[in-house]
Amino acid sequence: MFRELRLGTKNFISDITPKFVRILERFSPFGPDNMRPVFLTENVLVAHKPRVVGANHLVLTLKQDNKYKTLNAIGFNLGKYSLATRHPNNTSLDIVYTMLTVYYIEYWQ
């Protein structure tokens, strides 16, 4: 049995800009009554060899339409798909995702 997935919008990797992320953050806080928007991007290529980090998380660099802009992504608990994302001949993928902004502080010693 499959769960219904409601998509917010279809977009391109080139649409994801700092301004777009700032606008998206205005809809927070997210939770059960205000879910994060779900996006669809079609015809995406895996730009670099995917890798598994931590317990089982898939780290990918994605690109679209042979443009220079790439998107760094992590699929939590999706490490088992690392081999499946290594498509021969640059076969494209359609991805469904939510966006999460991660802030970190780099400590100097």
Strand partners, 63: 45, 70
pTM for this one? 0.75
What is the rounded distance in angstroms from the CA atom of residue 46 to the CA atom of residue 63?
A: 6
Q: What is the DSSP letter of 60?
A: E
pLDDT one-digit tens code per residue, 51-95: 899 989 999 888 887 677 888 888 889 888 877 666 655 678 888
The alpha-carbon radius of gyration of the chain (Å, integer) is: 15
Q: Which residue has the tokens 């060899």?
A: 49
Exposure pattern of 21-55 as b/e (b: 16+ CB <10 Å)?
A: eeebeeeeeeeeeeeeeebebeebbbeeebeeeee
Domain ranges of the chain: 9-97
Architecture of the domain made up of 9-97:
Beta Barrel (2.40)
